Structure 1
């Protein structure tokens, strides 16, 4: 376990699956230690440098490979033997990398970051195998694999004339984040609706005092128009019944309301259901109604017809009285004033 903790990178496996990345890591670390010349043909490095390079290479080999190359003490010979044994991995990896590159499409990924990661993974394998992949190749691969619904968007990105693949990906990542934010704002509430305004609730507590829930923390004591305690400026209702500003004393009428009417009004309010006067349906308001217009017209027409049928018109014809008593006595204004003769 102590040997594994000192590894700078993964050890070379016997199967050779990680040979290509192992070669790259080994070359970089040997150059960093100043031992890069020890693995080249015809080098004239010192025995000490060769020994240090051999120790480093053997530390990053599988235990089975160490036993197979136990007698080799020159790092250049070990490097050449490993290359002859595992260099055919390029011929195995290259066809798979070409196949992945051929079938790589932007529309097959849920996010731009996933597509970008796969793109670099495939291009790295191609470059390790000797294939050259330029920025123009990566740009064309991205442009040509847009979804069919984004043809106009793909044309707009082409017209911007990106020279580097990284510039295109940065632009796509920003657009993706903006689209996600736009969808969140769209789904927060229905189109055309407005957020409900906050209301200040006044409650009547058991002690007979009204309390503002919007400022229930008790701050502002002795200030403003409604004062909890104190005298002078805070009194709104003078005299004995005025109290000490802002509070109503409990009376018998308050007790009656609290005992009888409060429970009934609460139950009644809980049974109220919102009815849309536009379509007649329950459960929503008219400003968020989504009923088609032809159904709304039919409903309004039926309401008008119903009102017309329920109305009662009372018509009194000439010669008919308002009562059935049979009394036909008629009174006029002249009957209440004296005549000029004084009668």
Structure 2
């Protein structure tokens, strides 16, 4: 009996909350061990088989339950006592499963797989308690709980007339994965833009030295005594500004000319540290910069025009300076 030294499934809890799955597991394992008849009424099994079944059942009980049923030696009697004690758990689980089934909605879950897992769990509990859930019930539950924004999609799936829930859930899972892929492709870069090409710039300079060539070909002919060597600039090699000879970087500051490339500004995008021919700024940013440069410097002329008050308004008479000649046509007559 060394195979009974460890639990083959979860032991029955003292509260009986796992009574239904424990009952199912115990029946399956006893049948697999040819001990299933030991918990059936009016069985004629041998004492040895009853002892094996008793050991197996007690091994999968809570420690407190073992002490409560310490005097029972018949597996059938132990089985019936456990059934009478925790049989009410079936009604408790049934009410809970029915409530979860009523409030189950596809729109409440972030993914189809989560909804599918919850639906199968609830339907299994209902079947275990005696309520049969068919494929038609699961299909109707899924169709009627789509999100309101997907009503047309739900109607299209309904018109396909699925007969099995597995067929519908397969279509939903595939559609969900395709939507994720499309969303990832959309978020990879903005709409209407192309991926930036990779550009590698290599700066080369020629070295013309006098003397014999260091290459494998030596002798007479044109260009004798000269060697044309092309080399790449690296971080540890600097070019002498006057004579064209190269020397290794010793860590000391270079005393030659300091290049002003870092101070140059690209006239294409307005950024520094690169030239216009190597500019990799996106096209829409370049166009925005060019428009800004064109509009820069334009001065907006502003003219303030005040409307003259009407002669019939009080403001006209209060602000206008009047003299006597304005009222008398001929001053000499006065």
Which of the five TM-score ranges fits, normalised by the shorter chain?
0.5 to 0.7
Equivalent position to 1:267, from 257, 263, 267 = 263
Equivalent pairs, count: 265
Q: What secondary structure, in the 3-state scheme, does the structure 2 residue paired with 1:252 have?
A: coil
Partner of 1:224: none
Partner of 2:317: none
Q: CA deviation at 1:67?
A: 1.6
Partner of 1:23: 23
Partner of 1:212: none
| Cα RMSD (Å) | 3.8
Q: CA deviation at 1:114?
A: 1.1
Query: 1:1-343 residue pairs with structure 2 within 5 A?
Result: 6-204=6-204, 243-244=228-229, 252=242, 259-260=256-257, 262=259, 264-269=260-265, 273=270, 285-287=282-284, 303=295, 306=298
Is the alpha carbon distance of 1:239 and 1:176 closer, same or farther for their aligned partners in structure 2, counting shifts above 3 Å? farther
Whole-angstrom CA distance in 1 between matches of 2:285 and 2:134: 54
Whole-angstrom CA distance in 1 between matches of 2:36 and 2:11: 18
Whole-angstrom CA distance in 2 between matches of 1:287 and 1:159: 46
Given that residues 35 and 49 in structure 1 are in contact (C-alpha distance below 8 angstroms), is that contact kept between their aligned partners in structure 2? Answer: yes
Gaps of 5+ in 1: 210-228, 275-283, 292-298, 310-343
**TM-score in terms of structure 2 length:** 0.68
Q: CA deviation at 1:241?
A: 6.2
Is the alpha carbon distance of 1:28 and 1:148 closer, same or farther for their aligned partners in structure 2, counting shifts above 3 Å? same
Whole-angstrom CA distance in 1 between matches of 2:199 and 2:182: 29
Is the alpha carbon distance of 1:37 and 1:250 closer, same or farther for their aligned partners in structure 2, counting shifts above 3 Å? same
Whole-angstrom CA distance in 2 between matches of 1:114 and 1:85: 35
Whole-angstrom CA distance in 2 between matches of 1:304 and 1:259: 39
**TM-score in terms of structure 1 length:** 0.66
The structure in which a higher percent of residues are helix is: 1
The structure in which a higher percent of residues are strand is: 2
Whole-angstrom CA distance in 1 between matches of 2:201 and 2:56: 77
Per-residue CA deviation, residues 193-231 of structure 1 (Å, 9 max, x unaligned), is: 1111121311358xx67xxxxxxxxxxxxxxxxxxx967
